Amino acid sequence: MIAAALSATALHAITFHVAPMAPEKGDGSAERPFATLEAARDAVRAARQDGRLADTVTVELASGTCWRTNTFELGPEDGGSAEAPVVYRAATLGASSLNLGISVPPGSWQPVTDPALVARLSAPAKGRMLRLSLDELGVKNQGPYADVFSDGGGLCQLFCGSRWMPLSRWPDSGYETVAAVLSKGDLKGGPGTPGGAFEYRSDRPAQWSVADGVWLDGFWVVPWTRHALRVSAIDPAKKTVTFACGVSRGLGSKYAKPPQLGTGKEEWCAVNLLEEIDRPGEWCLRFNEHALYFLPPGNGMPKDALIADRTVPLVRLRNASHVVFEGLVFEGGLGDGVEVAEGDSVTLRGCTFRLLGGTGALLRGGRNHEVRSSDFCDLGRGGIVLSGGNRQKLLPAQHVAENNHLWRVGRLKQTYAPPVEVAANSVGCRVSHNFMHDLPHAAVLYSGNDHLFEYNEIARAALDSGDVGAFYTWNDWTSRGNLLRYNFVYDSPRINAFYMDDGDSGDTVACNLIFNTQYGPFIGGGHDNLVTGNLAVACSAGALHLDSRGVARGYKDNATLVKKLKSVDLRSPPWSARYPELQRLTPESRAFPTGNRMADNAAVACGKAEHFSGSPAERALSVVTNTVVFETLASAGFRDPEGLDFRPVPDAAISRRWPQIAAIPFEKIGLYADAWRTRLPDRRKLQRQAGANPSEVFDSMTDVQSSGVTAP
């Protein structure tokens, strides 16, 4: 049948059809579609072998759900050419799903009637709680948790109504704080280190059964590292919790001053407790029963519940080139969405990545890969990872992430799993026109060289962490040549907008707009950074920051920084030609922030215009100059700052005193409409940060609505 279809198409474009409910023995025609992607892939291979790839080959998926139990694999034999790519596309944009989930039949849910369990339920859960046997569905990742975990513990997840259902927790939003750290339980004490202990404030822990398993999840040491720890004992009389094992760095904030072991500000919450299911949508796993307990968001038995349990990616491409995925939905797995390794010119456009336990799209190695005009929402880890290029030769990967909408990522791994990551040792990637919001940690993590970040819009980042940047890079003197321009960062009061942390060097931060953050551009002891033409508005701590932390922290001999410096040949091309300033980075100068220039920026209604730490002598080889200052928003002359419109009114004072504002292309920042993104999110529908509880915002089950806007 396939041969007959090929002979009929000769050297013209070929289209194979796939329909989820098709009979097994189709021929790929519109009338008799294939039942699986694998059958279509094999037909594409036959077309290649038969010399019929003179034009684009399309595999078109009918609307509906393709339920999968394994990864769809493509290799070098499955690609096309620049003139004749192989395209896997949805017949209707966004209406064809590849789903790795386990569908839960409504009849599998049973009401909870055991008197002993009913007595433990919260008032809202009594009479409504449902039980699901995981063994009957063949769920494998059902626990128990490890003693220590930081990424959801690798266990199955529950979705219902195409929404991520929140694991039970106490408190329902926000965090409790410790009353006092009693013992640290720091693993540096060696194997067998006993678990730490702390005194708690509320009486609530007295209600929890350690025999059933209690885990407390918290920021025990720093606001950017979170661990869940198993409890071995709760003493209601003394109001103490003791953990089952030690953990790296133990308990107690790094900012505590001896002899105190903590500050009393360490944040924690309890997770996966039956007693704490008190909001519709919450659930927990009962490990001893191999069962899931659920308080459904609606009345009756859930009709569209889904368990994410399979850890394999939905799609994997290895050394495949000129392959396009267009308009498809990737969902339902506990692992990643699409993994691309090596190859050339793999494109993901107009796709949706949602309800996945891992990362949406990973592009590693190869050249010219692209993620465009796609949506990423409710992901356990990050959204997009770009990695590639030859760092020794400074050859660019030319990977692109453009016009993507990313929100509510990091549901299982809350820190260092951002919407966009440009991985270490990468060269020459571009991240542009993306909209990232409602994030627990950073928006963009980046490392490497010669990347371009432009026209991105970032709102409500670091809702569940601290001491991080919307754009964040760290700990590398050689990660240079990165340009960050024309970006808009706003309504993220716990974040530094552009954070070059712990010695990071050689970046240019130019013509960006920043509103309602902690700091704007922040240089943490690095070298040769250029910060110019930026507009910082209502930054609570300061518009600009520069420090000499490398002196106090011994950056001169810092093992990590020095190792990275020695990993490249600074004195030979292309490094000597591309970054000649590295020749000046001698052992004597490494600790001091040298060659930085912060010039011609504007600060409006900020806590401080310029903020420094360290002595002036230590910062003598960096320059901060010509910062234009306005004390109030009204004095600057913006059109509508409450509506996030910072364009100047005619004859505005800021235009007269700071003409650099004309270089910020306000109208071009953010998403734009194209063939794969026909509607844009309505910024007015987003809740503003003021007064909102961060964890309530992040756990909200309300999606961002779209407006009919068709141009940025």
Is residue 143 classed exposed, middle or buried when 0-12, 13-18 and 19+ CB atoms within 10 A define those classes?
middle
Tell me the pairing of strands 169-170 and 267-271: antiparallel
pLDDT at site 693: 41
Give residue-wise pLDDT tens across range 351-393.
Answer: 999 999 999 999 999 999 999 999 999 999 999 999 999 999 9
Percent of the chain residues past pLDDT 70, beyond the cut: 94
Stretch among 8-12, 99-103, 674-678, 684-688 having the lowest mean pLDDT: 8-12
pLDDT at 695 over 90: no
Mean pLDDT of the region 81-94: 94
- Amino acid 710: pLDDT: 29
Identify the band that residue 23 occupies on the pLDDT scale cut at 50, 70 and 90: confident
Is a pLDDT exceeding 50 seen at residue 9?
A: no
The reported pLDDT for the residue numbered 684 is 63
d(CA 199, CA 621): 48
Instruction: Return the residue matching tokens 């684009």.
Output: 56
The C-alpha atoms of residue 40 and residue 42 are separated, in whole angstroms, by: 5
Calpha distance 285→131 (Å, rounded): 10
Q: Assess contact for 240 and 199: CB atoms under 8 A.
A: yes
Residue 53 pLDDT grade (very low, low, confident, very high; cuts 50, 70, 90): low
Smallest Cα–Cα separation from 610: which of 598, 596, 592?
Answer: 598
Output 13 or 75, whichever has higher pLDDT.
75
Q: For tokens 């107690």, what's the residue?
A: 252
List the domain boundaries for the chain: 102-168+275-307, 176-271
Token code pair at residue 501: 């942390």
pLDDT at 682: 76
Please report which confidence band the pLDDT of residue 6 belongs to, taking 50, 70 and 90 as the band edges.
Answer: very low
Q: Is the pLDDT of residue 709 over 50?
A: no
Structure confidence at residue 55 (pLDDT) = 78
User: How do residues 286-321 score in pLDDT, each as one tens digit?
Assistant: 999 999 999 999 888 999 999 999 999 999 999 999
pLDDT at 135 over 60: yes
Q: What global pTM score does this model have?
A: 0.94
How high is the pLDDT of residue 48?
Answer: 77
Answer whether residue 702 shows pLDDT above 70.
no
CA distance 339 to 355: 16
Is the pLDDT assigned to residue 102 strictly greater than 50?
Answer: yes
Q: What is the reported pLDDT for 2?
A: 41
Written as one letter, the residue type at 165 is: M
Cα-based distances in Å from 491 to 450, 513, 539: 28, 12, 10
Tell me: pLDDT of 706 over 50. no
Quickly state the pLDDT bin for 685 (edges 50, 70, 90). Answer: low
In the predicted model, what is the mean pLDDT of residues 610-623?
A: 97
Q: What is the pLDDT of residue 400?
A: 98
Whether residue 27 is predicted with pLDDT greater than 60 in this model: the reply is yes
| pLDDT, position 4 | 38
Question: Nearest to residue 709, comparing CAs of 378, 435, 444, 328?
Answer: 435
In this prediction, residues 212-218 reach a mean pLDDT of 96
Please tell me the distance from the alpha carbon of residue 363 to that of residue 609, in angstroms, as a whole number: 40
The two tokens of residue 550 are: 């490398």
pLDDT of residue 322: 97
Mean pLDDT for the chain overall: 92
Per-residue pLDDT band for 54 (boundaries 50, 70, 90) equals low
- pLDDT tens string 511-569: 999 999 999 999 999 999 999 999 999 999 999 999 999 999 999 999 999 999 999 99
- As given in the structure block, the two tokens for residue 708 are 């009919």
Q: What does the pLDDT read at residue 260?
A: 92
Average pLDDT over residues 144-167: 95
Q: What is the pLDDT of residue 648?
A: 97
Give the lowest-confidence range in 187-201, 214-228, 308-322, 351-365: 187-201
φ, ψ (nearest 5 deg) of residue 217: -110, 125
- pLDDT surpassing 70 at residue 629: yes
Number of H helices, E strands in the chain: 10, 58
- Lowest mean pLDDT segment, chosen from 13-22, 156-165, 170-179, 397-406: 13-22
